[in-house]
Structure 1
């Protein structure tokens, strides 16, 4: 990826979003203007929000949470991407995201198990009393991965929910006082508290993102 081109595209997209233009419409303009490929488009789409929305997400971030609801594959796949040396980004809302897609590959089981240990270590930093692990039923071996994490985590109460309605379940848990460990904008918009699990994992792994969109857009993340 061309990092300089991505940074310029991010600045232009932020400018237009801050002036009220619809994301989908202006994104097409930005993609054409900078000739972004599919992965570059995905990076800008996932990582650049209006100043108001980015600030709102940042305001919700907490490093202490008594109750955490983990969007398992949303977080796990990002950690696997990091460990494989693939591109990942620190977004303008201080959450780390990747651009690789939503499923594990067939040869990644061993790496995924190691990534679960990193997730467990990152969760333990918050010292939660309650943990809910929510996993997509449609993904192969989802229950197995969820239960592996359940056994790794030291917590008074750990529940696993393998469901076809991950977003709805996580939003419901947020209404019950859980902090969401997810980077899915649909979920975090509806939650009052966000536990930045992928960002913490980045620090545990001592890795640097390909691009720090927050700094590019003039609002560095103090926690990152």
Structure 2
């Protein structure tokens, strides 16, 4: 244990954070868990062990654990992630790589009327955790239409949806996206790749994702779902 750090479960000093939690829309139990996790992260504890400790202590359900995992960040990391967020107007005339499942699943949640979260780092995220089990449904068609209409407005010079090759039905999904792009006569495509994160890291001037591990590897990142919040009437819970 590093000098100055305390054991999990002990709170010998105030939480070193300037942010105030605004979780009045969720249960007090989850609100308290978020505050405690944020404190532990700001004290330097590894996220996975801190998340497990806090979740077990408060007896959180799986969805509640997902809320903590996807929305809470230490202050320094949150600030770093925010700096990488770009104004959507900057994408005009530039190439854009899109983290296909990450972005599409989030917009599907919005189309279904689910509540999303405005996270510590400023990104809009869902907590559905359906990535490996994704299936093409009518909701997929609606979400894709919203995304393509948005991309038509943003007018990148060219865009590319990337889907993980190892996920079932990803080939059919990429084919569907290409077909819809062609219908709209947009300058873009979709394909499956073995490692989306590696491809996004150095292949595009701008990328679109809410995966913080990918965001940290790039300096010009677009939050596409956040641009659809008002249009789709999505409720955002601010963490």
| Shorter-chain TM-score range | 0.7 to 0.9
1:187 deviates by 0.9
In the aligned structure 2, how far is the partner of 1:195 from the partner of 1:206?
20
Distance 1:152 1:199, change over 3 A: farther
Aligned to 2:120: 92
Per-residue CA deviation, residues 99-156 of structure 1 (Å, 9 max, x unaligned), is 22205655x521111101111233344331121211122331222233145336665x
Please tell me whether the aligned partners of residues 87 and 99 of structure 1 are also in contact (alpha carbons under 8 angstroms). Answer: no
Q: Gaps spanning 5+ residues in structure 2: where?
A: 1-24
Distance 1:117 1:25, change over 3 A: same
In the aligned structure 2, how far is the partner of 1:90 from the partner of 1:152?
33
Do residues 212 (structure 1) and 231 (structure 2) align?
no
Aligned to 1:173: 203
Post-superposition, which runs of at least 4 consecutive aligned residues in structure 1 deviate over 6 A? none
Aligned to 2:22: none
Q: Gaps spanning 5+ residues in structure 1: where?
A: 214-224
Match of 2:211 among 149, 163, 184: 184
Alignment of structure 1 residues 125-144 onto 2, 5 Å: 125-137=153-165, 138-140=167-169, 141-144=172-175
- Bigger mean CA deviation after superposition, 5-14 or 54-63: 5-14
RMSD: 2.2
Aligned to 2:220: 193
Aligned to 2:102: 74
In the aligned structure 1, how far is the partner of 2:140 from the partner of 2:222?
21
1:84 deviates by 1.7
Normalising by structure 1, report the TM-score: 0.83
Aligned to 1:114: 142
Distance 1:37 1:111, change over 3 A: same
Larger radius of gyration: 2
How many residues are matched?
A: 207
Match of 1:28 among 47, 52, 58: 52
In the aligned structure 2, how far is the partner of 1:153 from the partner of 1:97?
27
